Amino acid sequence: MNANPKFLAATAHVDEAAVQPLPKSRKIYEQGSRPDIRVPFREIEQSTTPTMFGGEANPPITVYDTSGPYTDPAVKIDIRSGLPALREAWIAERGDTEQLPGPSSAYGQERLNDPKLAELRFNLHRKPRRARAGANVSQMHYARRGIITPEMEFVAIRENVRRDAYLESLRNAGPQGQRMFELLSRQHPGQSFGAAIPARITPEFVRDEVARGRAIIPANINHPEIEPMAIGRNFLVKINANIGNSAVTSSIAEEVEKMTWSIRWGGDTVMDLSTGKHIHETREWIIRNSPVPIGTVPIYQALEKVDGKAEELTWEIFRDTLIEQAEQGVDYFTIHAGVRLAFIPMTARRMTGIVSRGGSIMAKWCLAHHRESFLYEHFEDICDIMKAYDVSFSLGDGLRPGSIYDANDEAQLSELKTLGELTTVAWKHDVQTMIEGPGHVPMHLIKENMDLQLEQCHEAPFYTLGPLTTDIAPGYDHITSGIGAAMIGWYGTAMLCYVTPKEHLGLPNKKDVKDGIITYKIAAHAADLAKGHPGAQIRDNALSKARFEFRWEDQFNLGLDPDTAKDFHDETLPKDSMKAAHFCSMCGPHFCSMKITQDVRDYAEQQGVSEAEALKKGMQEKAVEFVKKGAEIYHRS
Amino acid sequence: MNANPKFLAATAHVDEAAVQPLPKSRKIYEQGSRPDIRVPFREIEQSTTPTMFGGEANPPITVYDTSGPYTDPAVKIDIRSGLPALREAWIAERGDTEQLPGPSSAYGQERLNDPKLAELRFNLHRKPRRARAGANVSQMHYARRGIITPEMEFVAIRENVRRDAYLESLRNAGPQGQRMFELLSRQHPGQSFGAAIPARITPEFVRDEVARGRAIIPANINHPEIEPMAIGRNFLVKINANIGNSAVTSSIAEEVEKMTWSIRWGGDTVMDLSTGKHIHETREWIIRNSPVPIGTVPIYQALEKVDGKAEELTWEIFRDTLIEQAEQGVDYFTIHAGVRLAFIPMTARRMTGIVSRGGSIMAKWCLAHHRESFLYEHFEDICDIMKAYDVSFSLGDGLRPGSIYDANDEAQLSELKTLGELTTVAWKHDVQTMIEGPGHVPMHLIKENMDLQLEQCHEAPFYTLGPLTTDIAPGYDHITSGIGAAMIGWYGTAMLCYVTPKEHLGLPNKKDVKDGIITYKIAAHAADLAKGHPGAQIRDNALSKARFEFRWEDQFNLGLDPDTAKDFHDETLPKDSMKAAHFCSMCGPHFCSMKITQDVRDYAEQQGVSEAEALKKGMQEKAVEFVKKGAEIYHRS
């Protein structure tokens, strides 16, 4: 560790690649009901349509932005200080928390007092907070008492992605305004399988969704740096990126860089799955610099504390770990409390047994002690910790299928049912809860997963890993799983846990992380489109208009990954002039179908018949006559 | 062109990367009812299971093999001579064709007699064949007369992928045989939406499917080099790779290499979409060296002949082009005969107009002449040419949507209906026919495409481009479309036309072609699994067993791309010894869940209770008692 000079705390610095604004993009903020509710967005500037296609100005597009202050040139980033604590006042003013003198977990104290760790340690001056005795500080608890928190308002503004402002800018676009509005705002009605997404998200809607458990806002009171976000079926589909060093390879520095890299490309939350030597310190660096919620699997660290011997795990060690991590600010914990003793034998006939690390640890513990899981037995004790810090449950699917063979089997579905029962218990404590899902599932068995989850877990948000739709493509499991992720997102999953090309093979590097994220942004967006999420099609429409009009730079910049799009284009047609060309390398100037379409339209225009007239004549019914009369119908409108 | 010394005919040579057998793979042949029906497969050798997991031998797996003789070390490849004409005798012995003195198209003769082309020209000694006057040489024609051709028998053997032999090898695997058979042969019942896939494909079944038009065997009598394959909803889902030079870039050499590269990774057919200067010569080189059917879009070349001026196209020029290409051996033609005059105005209000090159050419022609498409009006004349060479129709979707906005609109669906009418006409002539489909379609509108196609095109095979499920990811359209392709394949599409990462941006290089192919192999296989195609899960099961048992090399080799899987693994754990390690880089030795699962199983084994006993006791109902009694249930079977 110390061999990596980058990670001496005194000299730690941000990854430069993560702080450049994306091309033609700028950070904008929309203010809420009070000056300290400032919701960030990314605004993408567009160029004017070439004269041959109409010559209109194209208003900028606003997109959801997970990248935090990093992409705001106005913010000075110093990862040694961490991000500004934007929720600090919101938390303090609720008056239901107290500042502790220091970490209250034994392990947290031990690490803090170890002088050998000084040069690795993030230098945090702030003391941890905890709910006052008897208080419950979860967003769900507030929601159920009818309180709209600043977090909820933040989420509401964020989810609307300034859609109304964009549509207004279209309507106001001069003489072509109405035409542009109709073209660019149109969207297919979706099929949402019973989701209830309003045309506009209000703070009250957010409150209601959180109150009834259909959405969560992971927001630990010790992670005041986050920009609040919601995970729920009636919000935009979110994605999670996993990072984490391992016993074999990678360093703290790489993990912090993976976090900033992940959020740059669209990671809505990040799970820190570290298993190495300095888990505690790595986590602190990640949380202090993360504007997105951080999830962990506390059993991994608990196991480290007993030198990897699952049978030596105890509730006390696990409990201390929960408190340690809660006081650092972890926003959600994966807890494998559904791996019950009775279900373990159901995995005996499986192709791939138990593939979840957490699941297998608990299975080993249960068999070693011949008793029920301590996570299950202490579930209400865990709830007490969760609500004292507002850590959300991510109820782990420790028995998820690791192969197509094992999909939707009794072990998996028994655990799912238990997760539903535990959801009810968590909700009794007003603890925010989401449910983890598989895994490896062939396409035709995916919907059953979603339907059972909705029914048995009472619409608590579903958070799935893929699912992978085949086992036969190691090296491409971002794709095998991206297919399943898009589908289950459409059916109702609220957050998709990404899979990288390295799945099953090795640790992802930055390229893999980006490939995983972009694949999952595609899946999430395809799901939003299919659900008919209001406004989801705005970006598709804008990009397709740019594509049709050969606005190459706009096409790149409106895409999920402008850099790659531009590089790919330049590989074939490198000259700058080619980005103004009204044809592309696939067809060349003669064959370009878009050019021919436009030629056809121009030809029509020359006949001198106005748009309005052509439309009045009932274009579609009388098409043949029109064409015979002089092809006057061929123009965009 | 001449600047590329690789493509002087005298020195042309095969791409070395395309002729190496894949790791641990060997070419095997299964003989049919006569010695010249020798169906190729790839057999993947597996290693023995490590002792800790049972120590059994794992029989080799046979997979469908599109790579042709290239991957057979016993065959000497010389692309200057082309591949052996394995169907030559089958065609000749039917006695319904005649050998022509030379090309009968004007253009074919012109090119042959141009001395300047000598150094580019493939040196073909064989004369073209054509049906005798009044004869029909299509596979559909034979099928409808009850004749099972060698092509049909070849297809039947090929589609079964030697599954029975593999299952037999499992059953005979000694004392563990029954257990292995049960584990490795099990498959989820699928949801096929009305497909009728038999447990075993017989030659008679192939004949019947071809006769009723539900499948085609693209097999031009002038392409005797092909290894016959079928495209139909009741066969394995196929994929097509597009190659083609363009006016702006790329060369013949690159295109031939792309073909051999495409089939190496699993392209079932290849479309040559060249639009450059030496289309005719490029095509000859590709066909003579291609063991898979080759498709083209003849209107591209016809347009070249009129210097890119669509309005100057004539039926005579087009007809000559069809004959020219049919006599070279093109196996299927995309014909945009559904772009009728009446439909063109329907595209006026679209976001992206007409994005199909063929569609826009025909639209321009129709408007310029104010008359119905000559392709539509001469459709029966085209049928006469098709049946004289057994060229199959791929009825082009010239009005496919080029953006989410335009999906499933009136223009698209009107054309689809017309393609159904044309299918009836083609079938009247016993001409094999498949139907091209979109395009850009959000997930929830995909099934409507399939359902309408099945109904309106009378179950003729559907052949779709993706569909792309969102417009917003230029640079990743293999993925946006791989999602749609997997879904529409599941719903019933017979062949998926690949999309590469360069779609919309530039010309694909070899890496892009491979990325496109592997993505589409994933989509096709995921579709086969979801349909419940018999035996589809065999490879998933074998790979997952290898994965569970840490047989790293087997896991790589059973995958779609062993090279990439191995490279990815080695990036993290490069040492050879690590490929024997019973853990991987993601978790390291302590955390490995597979290892823990096996530890659990071993623990159970130590209790000394036999598998049979445990099973008898009704494991699942009494799980808790079992575990309490001593965890005796934890073993694989």
Which tens digit of pLDDT belongs to each residue from B482-491? 999 999 999 9
Report the alpha-carbon distance of residue A246 to residue B469 in Å, rounded: 36
Find the mean pLDDT for residues A629-637: 32
Mean pLDDT of all residues in chain B? 89
Find the mean pLDDT for residues B390-404: 98
Interface of A with B in 370-399 (CB under 8 A): 370
DSSP characters for B208-244? HHHHTTSEE----TT-TT-----EETTS--EEEEEE-
pLDDT at position A573 over 90:
no
Q: In this predicted structure, what is the pLDDT of residue A348? A: 87
If we measure between CA atoms, which residue out of A425, A242, A477 comes closest to residue B543? A477
Q: Express each pLDDT in A342-395 by its tens digit.
A: 999 899 889 999 999 999 999 999 988 989 999 999 999 999 999 999 999 999
For the beta carbon of residue A526, count every other beta carbon within 10 angstroms.
32
Q: In this predicted structure, what is the pLDDT of residue B609? A: 41
Tokens at B311, concatenated: 């309005």
Chain A residues with CB-CB distance to B410 below 8 A: 620
| Cβ atoms of residues B540 and A403 within 8 Å | yes
Chain centroid offset of residue A390 CA:
19
User: Helix, strand, coil proportions of chain B in percent (round to 5)?
Assistant: 45, 10, 45
pLDDT above 90 covers a percentage of chain B that reads 77
pLDDT at position A73 over 90:
yes
pLDDT at position A299 over 50:
yes
If we measure between CA atoms, which residue out of A50, A49, A52, A181 comes closest to residue A601? A52
Tokens at A618, concatenated: 């009932």
Could you tell me where the DSSP H helices lie in A33-149?
88-93, 106-112, 139-144
Lowest-confidence segment of A102-111, A461-470, A473-482, B240-249 by average pLDDT: B240-249
Q: In this predicted structure, what is the pLDDT of residue A596? A: 64
If we measure between CA atoms, which residue out of B234, B209, B168 comes closest to residue B494? B234
pLDDT tier at A19, thresholds 50, 70, 90: confident
pLDDT at position B64 over 70:
yes
pLDDT tier at A52, thresholds 50, 70, 90: confident
Interface of A with B in 504-543 (CB under 8 A): 504-507, 509, 518-519, 521-523, 525-527, 529-532, 537, 539-541, 543
Q: In this predicted structure, what is the pLDDT of residue B599? A: 61
Lowest-confidence segment of A131-145, A414-428, B57-71, B117-131 by average pLDDT: B117-131
Most confident stretch, A92-96, A345-349, A546-550, B608-612: A92-96
Q: In this predicted structure, what is the pLDDT of residue A349? A: 87
- Determine contact: B465 vs chain A, CB below 8 A: no
pLDDT at position B619 over 70:
no
Residue with the bigger pLDDT between B52 and A419: it is: A419
- Determine contact: A148 vs chain B, CB below 8 A: no
**Among B58, B237, B498, B505, the residue to mutate for chain A (most A Cβ within 10 A):** B505
Question: What chain A residue is nearest to B635 in terms of C-alpha separation?
Answer: A348
- Determine contact: B72 vs chain A, CB below 8 A: no
Residue with the bigger pLDDT between B272 and A254: it is: B272
pLDDT at position B585 over 80:
no
Report the alpha-carbon distance of residue B172 to residue B177 in Å, rounded: 6
| Cβ atoms of residues A236 and A229 within 8 Å | no
Interface of B with A in 540-599 (CB under 8 A): 540-541, 543-545, 547-548, 555-556, 558-561, 564-565, 567-569, 571-573, 584-594, 596-599
Find the mean pLDDT for residues B24-43: 98
pLDDT at position B632 over 80:
no
Question: What chain B residue is nearest to A560 in terms of C-alpha separation?
Answer: B473
- Element spanning B29, H or E: strand B25-31
pLDDT at position B539 over 60:
yes
Please indicate whether, in this complex, the C-beta atoms of A476 and B564 are within 8 angstroms of each other.
yes
Lowest-confidence segment of A111-120, A427-436, A474-483, B403-412 by average pLDDT: A111-120
Tokens at B286, concatenated: 């590709």
pLDDT at position B259 over 90:
yes
Residue with the bigger pLDDT between A178 and A389: it is: A389
Q: In this predicted structure, what is the pLDDT of residue A604? A: 53
Among candidates B183, B349, B472 on the partner chain, residue whose Cβ is nearest the Cβ of A351: B183
Residue with the bigger pLDDT between B637 and A61: it is: A61
In sequence order, which residues have a C-beta less than 8 Å from that of residue A37 and are 6 or more positions away?
Answer: A31, A150, A153, A154, A157
Q: Express each pLDDT in A210-263 by its tens digit.
A: 999 999 999 999 999 999 999 999 999 999 999 977 555 557 777 788 899 999
- Element spanning A562, H or E: helix A562-572
Q: In this predicted structure, what is the pLDDT of residue B14? A: 77
Tokens at A22, concatenated: 């994306």
Q: Tell me the CA end-to-end span of chain A in Å, nearest whole number.
A: 63
Q: In this predicted structure, what is the pLDDT of residue B593? A: 63
Find the mean pLDDT for residues B600-604: 59
Q: In this predicted structure, what is the pLDDT of residue B79? A: 87
Residue with the bigger pLDDT between B575 and A382: it is: A382
pLDDT at position B627 over 50:
no
Most confident stretch, A241-250, A577-586, B41-50: B41-50
CA distances from A535 to A185, A199, A200, A465 (A): 7, 9, 10, 26
Interface of A with B in 268-297 (CB under 8 A): 275
pLDDT at position B628 over 50:
no
Find the mean pLDDT for residues B60-85: 94
Model confidence, pTM: 0.94
pLDDT at position A635 over 50:
no
In sequence order, which residues have a C-beta less than 8 Å from that of residue A530 and are 6 or more positions away?
Answer: A190, A191, A486, A490, B442, B443, B444, B469
To the nearest whole Å, the CA of A128 is away from the closest chain B CA by: 30
Residue with the bigger pLDDT between B615 and B505: it is: B505
Q: In this predicted structure, what is the pLDDT of residue B483? A: 98
Name the 3-class secondary structure at A434. Answer: strand
- Element spanning A40, H or E: strand A38-44
- Determine contact: A452 vs chain B, CB below 8 A: no
Please indicate whether, in this complex, the C-beta atoms of B543 and A248 are within 8 angstroms of each other.
no
